[in-house]
Structure formats: C-alpha cells, structure tokens
Amino acid sequence: MGVMGTGKTSVMKALAGRLGWATADGDDLHPPENVAKMRSGEPLTDADRRPWLEAIASWIGERETASEPAIVACSALRRTYRDLLRRGHPSVWFAHLVVPPAVIVSRVERRQGHYMPPALLASQFETLETLEPDEPGIAIPADGPLGEIVNEIVRHVPRSM
C-alpha cells in the first residue's frame, strides 16, 4: 500500500518472483469511469473507490477460498479502505511502502504511460492515513534498492501466509 510512485507494482512483481505467489495490480481493477476521472486529473472520492475496493476484496476472497497466497498492489490509503479489504479476509496483511515526498515527485514526473497524472499526488497525500498499531502490517522504507525492500517485507510477512 501507499501513494502513487512508491513502487507498489515493482515491489509486488519482485515479491511474486521470490515467493511464487499470485498477483493483482489494483490499478487494473479500477472501473473505466475511475480511470477516466483520474486520467483527467480529478481525484477519486470515497464513493468512486468503493466498487474498486470491493473488486479487490473479491479477488482476495477468491485466493483465500483456493488457499492460494497472493499479493495485491493497491493504494489502500484510508483505514476505512483497509478495513473493507480485511472484512472477512483474515489473511490480509499490509506492507506500507514509505518514500520521501521529494523522491515520489521525481518518480511520478518520470513515469510514462500511466493514467494517473502527477497532479493527483497531492490528493493522495491528503487522503493517506498511515497504518495504525492495531492493523496487520508494517511500514517499510521503500526508497532503497528493490532487493532490500523485498527482503524486509519477506522478513516480516506472517509465516502462516
């Protein structure tokens, strides 16, 4: 989890390569209306995000039903969003990728081919609520080498997953 530009997709792919787990990129599960809204530079509302979060939760449920460990890269910016993802899904554990804002700005400005323009970054930071102590997961500094980020996540991920 984390704001745009923290490296969620890159970390997900590297983790999947290391662990052999199924993956889903939350960006691919947005309804077309959300993508159009973001592409135009308009931030999503909680109401816009609800069907997207429900689609992610459904995907998680399918993996749990199949007893298949999985990784989902998604922003999960608010506690209420994370609560929705966890509801009925005991396996959900969060790795909050934390990157200094200046590094994120630099990454987002260099990014090519993504529908989220850099102008949306401020709204993501405004929406972000960090993990609370009672939420399953940890915050991980994610501005270093990808291998070190993956090692840190693997070191903390619950063994029952």
Exposure of 106 in the CB half-sphere (CA atoms within 13 A): 6
Q: What angle do CA 82, 25, 143 make, to 5 degrees?
A: 80
| Residue 161 reports pLDDT greater than 60 | no
**CA 160 to centroid of chain Cα atoms:** 21
Q: How confident is the model at residue 15 (pLDDT cuts 50, 70, 90)?
A: very high
Give the pLDDT confidence score for residue 156 in this predicted structure: 95
Mean pLDDT across the chain:
91
Q: How confident is the model at residue 117 (pLDDT cuts 50, 70, 90)?
A: low
How far apart (Å, rounded) are the C-alpha atoms in residues 107 and 6? 8
How far apart (Å, rounded) are the C-alpha atoms in residues 34 and 29? 10
Average pLDDT over residues 128-132: 95
Residues in the chain: 161
60-65 long-range contacts, Cβ below 8 Å, gap at least 24? 60/85, 60/89, 60/91, 60/92, 61/88, 61/89, 63/22, 63/91, 64/89, 64/90, 64/91
Give the pLDDT confidence score for residue 20 in this predicted structure: 95
Average pLDDT over residues 148-152: 97
Q: How confident is the model at residue 16 (pLDDT cuts 50, 70, 90)?
A: very high
More confident residue, 41 or 80: 80
How far apart (Å, rounded) are the C-alpha atoms in residues 51 and 33? 11
Domains annotated for the chain, with CATH where assigned, are 8-156 (3.40.50.300)
Token couple for 7: 């490296």
Average pLDDT over residues 101-125: 77
